[in-house]
A and B are shown apart, each in its own frame.
Chain A
Amino acid sequence: DADVTQTPRNRITKTGKRIMLECSQTKGHDRMYWYRQDPGLGLQLIYYSFDVKDINKGEISDGYSVSRQAQAKFSLSLESAIPNQTALYFCATSDVDSEKQYFGPGTRLTVT
Protein backbone atom coordinates (compact mmCIF):
# COMPACT_ATOMS: atom_id res chain seq x y z
CA ASP A 1 0.00 0.00 0.00
CA ALA A 2 1.13 3.52 -0.81
CA ASP A 3 2.42 5.55 2.13
CA VAL A 4 0.85 8.81 0.91
CA THR A 5 -2.50 8.60 -0.82
CA GLN A 6 -4.60 11.28 -2.48
CA THR A 7 -8.27 11.22 -3.39
CA PRO A 8 -9.64 11.77 -5.90
CA ARG A 9 -6.95 11.15 -8.52
CA ASN A 10 -8.85 13.04 -11.16
CA ARG A 11 -11.67 15.54 -10.86
CA ILE A 12 -13.54 17.78 -13.25
CA THR A 13 -15.66 20.47 -11.67
CA LYS A 14 -17.44 23.64 -12.68
CA THR A 15 -16.60 27.22 -11.84
CA GLY A 16 -18.02 28.26 -8.47
CA LYS A 17 -18.25 24.78 -7.02
CA ARG A 18 -16.66 23.83 -3.72
CA ILE A 19 -14.24 20.95 -3.90
CA MET A 20 -12.11 19.11 -1.37
CA LEU A 21 -8.94 17.17 -2.10
CA GLU A 22 -7.89 14.69 0.54
CA CYS A 23 -4.50 13.39 1.59
CA SER A 24 -3.77 10.52 3.95
CA GLN A 25 -0.44 9.13 5.09
CA THR A 26 0.69 6.05 6.96
CA LYS A 27 4.28 7.20 7.48
CA GLY A 28 3.59 8.70 10.89
CA HIS A 29 5.04 12.05 9.84
CA ASP A 30 4.07 15.26 11.57
CA ARG A 31 4.69 17.56 8.63
CA MET A 32 2.32 17.72 5.67
CA TYR A 33 2.26 19.98 2.62
CA TRP A 34 0.06 20.86 -0.35
CA TYR A 35 1.60 21.91 -3.65
CA ARG A 36 0.25 22.68 -7.08
CA GLN A 37 2.08 22.11 -10.33
CA ASP A 38 1.38 24.12 -13.44
CA PRO A 39 3.15 23.53 -16.74
CA GLY A 40 6.42 25.44 -16.77
CA LEU A 41 6.11 26.60 -13.17
CA GLY A 42 7.33 23.69 -11.11
CA LEU A 43 5.76 22.99 -7.73
CA GLN A 44 4.40 25.87 -5.70
CA LEU A 45 3.61 25.59 -2.00
CA ILE A 46 -0.03 26.29 -1.08
CA TYR A 47 -0.21 25.39 2.62
CA TYR A 48 1.82 23.42 5.10
CA SER A 49 1.29 22.01 8.57
CA PHE A 50 3.97 20.97 11.05
CA ASP A 51 1.51 19.32 13.44
CA VAL A 52 -2.23 19.01 13.96
CA LYS A 53 -2.53 22.45 15.56
CA ASP A 54 -0.17 24.22 13.17
CA ILE A 55 -1.32 25.56 9.77
CA ASN A 56 0.71 27.95 7.64
CA LYS A 57 0.19 29.70 4.33
CA GLY A 58 2.58 29.01 1.50
CA GLU A 59 3.41 31.01 -1.61
CA ILE A 60 -0.01 30.81 -3.25
CA SER A 61 -2.69 30.29 -0.58
CA ASP A 62 -5.31 32.71 -1.95
CA GLY A 63 -8.46 30.84 -2.95
CA TYR A 64 -7.57 27.78 -0.90
CA SER A 65 -8.12 26.58 2.65
CA VAL A 66 -6.91 23.51 4.52
CA SER A 67 -7.89 21.31 7.42
CA ARG A 68 -5.60 19.05 9.41
CA GLN A 69 -8.09 16.56 10.81
CA ALA A 70 -5.49 14.26 12.33
CA GLN A 71 -1.78 13.60 12.10
CA ALA A 72 -2.48 11.36 9.14
CA LYS A 73 -4.96 13.56 7.24
CA PHE A 74 -4.60 16.91 5.54
CA SER A 75 -7.34 18.22 3.25
CA LEU A 76 -7.23 21.05 0.73
CA SER A 77 -10.42 22.91 -0.17
CA LEU A 78 -11.28 25.24 -2.99
CA GLU A 79 -14.26 27.19 -1.69
CA SER A 80 -15.30 28.50 -5.09
CA ALA A 81 -13.29 26.93 -7.87
CA ILE A 82 -12.11 29.04 -10.79
CA PRO A 83 -10.56 27.92 -14.10
CA ASN A 84 -7.04 29.11 -13.24
CA GLN A 85 -7.02 26.60 -10.38
CA THR A 86 -6.84 23.87 -13.01
CA ALA A 87 -3.59 22.12 -12.11
CA LEU A 88 -1.95 19.01 -10.71
CA TYR A 89 -2.06 18.98 -6.91
CA PHE A 90 0.40 17.09 -4.75
CA CYS A 91 0.40 16.29 -1.08
CA ALA A 92 3.70 15.58 0.66
CA THR A 93 4.91 14.59 4.11
CA SER A 94 8.18 14.79 5.96
CA ASP A 95 9.53 13.62 9.26
CA VAL A 96 10.68 15.91 12.05
CA ASP A 97 14.20 17.18 11.40
CA SER A 98 14.29 15.67 7.94
CA GLU A 99 14.48 17.68 4.75
CA LYS A 100 13.29 14.76 2.61
CA GLN A 101 9.68 14.85 1.46
CA TYR A 102 7.46 11.98 0.37
CA PHE A 103 4.88 12.83 -2.25
CA GLY A 104 1.50 11.37 -3.06
CA PRO A 105 0.59 10.43 -6.64
CA GLY A 106 -1.20 13.71 -7.32
CA THR A 107 -4.73 14.86 -8.10
CA ARG A 108 -5.44 16.27 -11.54
CA LEU A 109 -8.10 18.95 -11.14
CA THR A 110 -9.87 20.60 -14.05
CA VAL A 111 -12.17 23.56 -13.47
CA THR A 112 -14.43 24.34 -16.44
Chain B
Amino acid sequence: DQQVKQNSPSLSVQEGRISILNCDYTNSMFDYFLWYKKYPAEGPTFLISISSIKDKNEDGRFTVFLNKSAKHLSLHIVPSQPGDSAVYFCAASSSGTYKYIFGTGTRLKVLA
Protein backbone atom coordinates (compact mmCIF):
# COMPACT_ATOMS: atom_id res chain seq x y z
CA ASP B 1 0.00 0.00 0.00
CA GLN B 2 1.73 3.11 -1.29
CA GLN B 3 0.95 5.93 1.13
CA VAL B 4 2.88 8.51 -0.89
CA LYS B 5 2.52 8.43 -4.66
CA GLN B 6 4.30 10.19 -7.46
CA ASN B 7 2.34 9.09 -10.48
CA SER B 8 4.61 10.60 -13.12
CA PRO B 9 7.83 8.61 -13.40
CA SER B 10 9.34 11.21 -15.71
CA LEU B 11 8.90 14.75 -16.96
CA SER B 12 10.64 16.77 -19.67
CA VAL B 13 10.57 20.57 -19.70
CA GLN B 14 12.25 23.23 -21.80
CA GLU B 15 14.83 25.43 -20.11
CA GLY B 16 13.25 28.59 -18.76
CA ARG B 17 9.77 27.09 -18.47
CA ILE B 18 7.98 25.94 -15.35
CA SER B 19 8.40 22.39 -14.02
CA ILE B 20 5.54 21.02 -11.93
CA LEU B 21 6.09 17.81 -10.01
CA ASN B 22 3.15 16.23 -8.22
CA CYS B 23 2.74 14.07 -5.16
CA ASP B 24 -0.34 12.51 -3.56
CA TYR B 25 -0.71 10.96 -0.14
CA THR B 26 -3.36 8.84 1.51
CA ASN B 27 -2.58 9.03 5.22
CA SER B 28 -4.42 11.93 6.84
CA MET B 29 -1.99 11.80 9.77
CA PHE B 30 0.80 13.15 7.60
CA ASP B 31 1.39 16.80 8.44
CA TYR B 32 4.91 17.52 7.25
CA PHE B 33 6.16 17.15 3.71
CA LEU B 34 9.59 17.40 2.13
CA TRP B 35 11.08 17.35 -1.33
CA TYR B 36 14.49 15.88 -2.06
CA LYS B 37 16.54 16.02 -5.22
CA LYS B 38 18.82 13.18 -6.26
CA TYR B 39 21.60 13.19 -8.83
CA PRO B 40 23.09 9.92 -10.15
CA ALA B 41 25.65 8.30 -7.83
CA GLU B 42 24.76 10.69 -5.02
CA GLY B 43 22.43 10.56 -2.06
CA PRO B 44 19.24 12.63 -1.99
CA THR B 45 19.62 16.24 -0.86
CA PHE B 46 16.96 18.28 0.87
CA LEU B 47 15.26 20.85 -1.29
CA ILE B 48 12.23 22.36 0.42
CA SER B 49 9.58 21.43 2.97
CA ILE B 50 6.14 22.47 4.13
CA SER B 51 4.09 22.03 7.25
CA SER B 52 0.37 21.37 7.07
CA ILE B 53 -0.31 24.71 8.76
CA LYS B 54 0.74 26.36 5.51
CA ASP B 55 -0.43 25.94 1.96
CA LYS B 56 2.62 27.40 0.28
CA ASN B 57 6.33 27.67 0.93
CA GLU B 58 8.78 29.40 -1.35
CA ASP B 59 12.57 29.29 -1.59
CA GLY B 60 14.05 31.04 -4.57
CA ARG B 61 13.01 29.25 -7.75
CA PHE B 62 11.30 26.48 -5.78
CA THR B 63 7.76 26.64 -4.42
CA VAL B 64 5.81 23.86 -2.77
CA PHE B 65 2.02 23.97 -2.64
CA LEU B 66 -0.06 21.87 -0.29
CA ASN B 67 -3.74 21.07 -0.77
CA LYS B 68 -4.76 19.24 2.38
CA SER B 69 -8.32 18.53 1.34
CA ALA B 70 -7.08 16.82 -1.82
CA LYS B 71 -4.09 15.26 -0.05
CA HIS B 72 -1.91 16.64 -2.80
CA LEU B 73 1.28 18.61 -2.98
CA SER B 74 3.23 19.97 -5.87
CA LEU B 75 6.70 21.37 -6.43
CA HIS B 76 7.07 24.23 -8.89
CA ILE B 77 10.45 25.14 -10.34
CA VAL B 78 10.54 28.48 -12.14
CA PRO B 79 12.50 29.01 -14.30
CA SER B 80 13.76 25.50 -14.93
CA GLN B 81 17.47 25.10 -15.58
CA PRO B 82 19.46 22.19 -17.05
CA GLY B 83 21.12 21.69 -13.64
CA ASP B 84 17.68 20.89 -12.22
CA SER B 85 17.69 17.61 -14.16
CA ALA B 86 17.52 14.98 -11.43
CA VAL B 87 15.14 12.61 -9.69
CA TYR B 88 12.79 14.33 -7.24
CA PHE B 89 11.30 12.51 -4.26
CA CYS B 90 8.53 13.73 -2.04
CA ALA B 91 8.37 12.46 1.53
CA ALA B 92 5.77 12.71 4.27
CA SER B 93 5.73 12.29 8.01
CA SER B 94 3.59 12.81 11.06
CA SER B 95 5.10 15.56 13.23
CA GLY B 96 7.19 14.25 16.05
CA THR B 97 7.66 10.76 14.62
CA TYR B 98 10.69 11.68 12.50
CA LYS B 99 9.87 8.73 10.26
CA TYR B 100 9.39 9.39 6.59
CA ILE B 101 7.49 7.71 3.81
CA PHE B 102 8.95 8.42 0.40
CA GLY B 103 7.31 8.49 -2.98
CA THR B 104 8.74 6.60 -5.92
CA GLY B 105 10.34 9.64 -7.51
CA THR B 106 9.92 11.66 -10.70
CA ARG B 107 12.83 12.01 -13.11
CA LEU B 108 12.96 15.59 -14.39
CA LYS B 109 14.84 16.40 -17.54
CA VAL B 110 15.31 20.06 -18.42
CA LEU B 111 16.13 20.49 -22.08
CA ALA B 112 18.51 23.25 -23.11
* A interface residues (Cβ-Cβ under 8 A, vs B): 4, 31, 35, 40-45, 48, 50, 58, 90, 92, 94, 99-106
| Nearest 4 A/B pairs, CB to CB | A103-B43, A43-B102, A42-B104, A42-B102
Which residue on chain A has the smallest CB distance to residue B93? A99
B98 to A44, Cβ gap below 8 A?
Answer: no
Interface 1/0 per residue, B49-84 and A, CB below 8 Å: 100000000000000000000000000000000000
B44 to A43, Cβ gap below 8 A?
Answer: yes
B41 to A105, Cβ gap below 8 A?
Answer: yes
B104 to A45, Cβ gap below 8 A?
Answer: no
| Contact partner, A45, options B6, B45, B100, Cβ 8 Å | B100
B43 to A106, Cβ gap below 8 A?
Answer: yes
B98 to A100, Cβ gap below 8 A?
Answer: no
Instruction: List, in ascending order, chain A residues with CB within 8 A of B89's CB.
Output: 42-43
Closest chain A CB from B79 CB (angstroms): 25
A99 to B43, Cβ gap below 8 A?
Answer: no
B34 to A41, Cβ gap below 8 A?
Answer: no
| Contact partner, A48, options B34, B36, B46, B99, Cβ 8 Å | B99
